[in-house]
Structure 1
Amino acid sequence: MVRKVLVISDTHGSIESFEKIIKLVGEIDLIIHAGDYLYHGPRNRIPKGYNPGRLAERFKEFKDRFIGVKGNCDAEVDFMLMETSELPAVKFTSLNSKKILVFHGHKLVESGNAEIIIGGHTHIHKLSHYDRKIIMNPGSPSLPKDGTAGTFGFIEFGNIITFSIFDLNGMLIEKEEFK
């Protein structure tokens, strides 16, 4: 059973923010990434600790424990560096018998029977529940647009599923529980 899941999005090539997150969360069973892995994009500044090659190497270490979707700043060369095939824009999957939808974008997508909806792109963290569904946007650890020092999500599976958003200082920002 998968117990500890790191949920990230919009890393935009910042190895520094990724390493901070890994140091904070410790051992994890899985990473879910909601897009925009390595390139900062033409409208964003270069993030602190920008080193897309090193970040690609770190992502490869989690290759068998990684679920991801393509973001608007992702290109074929990014996936080549990460040694993965091109990722879909939307991904439906199942984890511990919970149906999960992962996407990247600012438009709503049809969630179908997904119980957990994870989205990226806005660089603004959000955690809410609606109609027996949990909606999580982990924000961005490297280029936040919500006034934080950068954020990431964490899901812990047990008798109750705990969804949390933390900042890069390890401070809990939001938390929801789900059965």
Structure 2
Amino acid sequence: MLILVVGDTHGKKDLMRKEIKKLPPIDLLLHTGDHFQDGHALAGQMKIQCNAVAGNCDWKKQEPDERILEIAGHRIFLTHGHLYNVKRSMNNLYFKARQNLIDIVIFGHTHMACLEREDNIWFMNPGSPSFPRAGGTGTYGLIQLNPGQADLRIVEIT
């Protein structure tokens, strides 16, 4: 299963709309919040499902603050990250993952791409395709899941 991970789009979908045309077939889209409606719009373009969470800039809380998903034998924790103080540290996410037997933590909020592994737990922040904080180009994530195997990567928009 190939999963597209996007977040912090803040209403700017144009770059991702173009990028999607370059990608192999995607099975699922995960949106980390801050205009989660963009995730649903992009998923609609690809005719796939979107699982999203609300971010601190999503005023209408039509999505939950967090989700735990089970996909291809992997437990995924999806959150925006603001409620876990991710701008200071990922410790709160780490403990949440340990308590819930999570394999992959996906979060946003910082607009800075990050991919780390700690104690067999993956931590992915796809960054922002629209408003990258560290300068440079926008980013998003791709996850290839198979039973017993996860391949995660951050992609820079060209």
- CA RMSD for the aligned pairs? 2.3
Alignment pair present for 1:4 and 2:8: no
For the pair shown, which has the larger CA radius of gyration, 1 or 2? 1
Instruction: Say if 1:10 and 1:132 are closer, same or farther in 2 by CA, change over 3 A.
Output: same
- Deviation of the 1:97 alpha carbon: 1.1
* 5+ residue gaps, structure 1: 40-51, 80-85, 170-179
Q: Does 1:74 align with 2:58?
A: yes
Alignment-mate amino acid for residue 70 of structure 2: S
Residues 32 and 38 of structure 1: CA distance in aligned 2, closer, same or farther (over 3 Å):
closer
Q: Is 1:119 equivalent to 2:117 in the alignment? A: no
TM superposition shift of 1:65: 1.3
Q: Which residue pairs with 2:14 in the alignment?
A: 16
CA contact (8 A) 1:31 1:62 kept: no
Residue of structure 1 in register with 2:155 after alignment:
166
> Residue 22 of structure 2: SS of its match in structure 1?
helix
Q: TM-score, normalised by structure 1?
A: 0.73
Which residue identity does 1:134 align to in structure 2? Answer: W
Structure 2 residue 55 is matched with structure 1 residue 88 = no
Query: Following the alignment from structure 1 to structure 2, what is the Cα–Cα distance between the partners of residues 115 and 38?
Result: 23
- Tell me the CA shift for residue 17 of structure 1: 1.7
SS at match of 1:32: strand
Q: Deviations over 1:42-66 (max 9, x none)?
A: xxxxxxxxxx7xx864444567511
Q: Cα distance 1:57–1:127, how it changes in 2: closer, same or farther (>3 A)?
A: closer
Match of 2:126 in 1: 138
Contact 2:43–2:49 under 8 Å retained in 1: no
Matched, 1:98 2:86: no
Q: TM-score, normalised by structure 2?
A: 0.82
Tell me the amino acid that sits aligned with residue 115 of structure 1: D
CA separation in 1, counterparts of 2:30 and 2:122?
15
* 8 A Cα contact 2:27 2:48, kept in partner: no
Q: Tell me the residue number matched to 1:176.
A: none
CA distance in 2, matches of 1:128, 1:58: 26
Which runs of no fewer than 5 residues in structure 2 stay unpaired? Answer: 86-91
| The one of 30, 33, 40 aligned to 1:35 | 33
Which residue identity is paired with 1:71?
A: G
Post-superposition offset of 1:144: 0.3
* CA–CA distance in structure 1, aligned partners of residues 107 and 67 of structure 2: 11
- Within 2, Cα distance between the matches of 1:154 and 1:168? 12
| Kept in 1: contact 2:36–2:53 (CA 8 A) | no
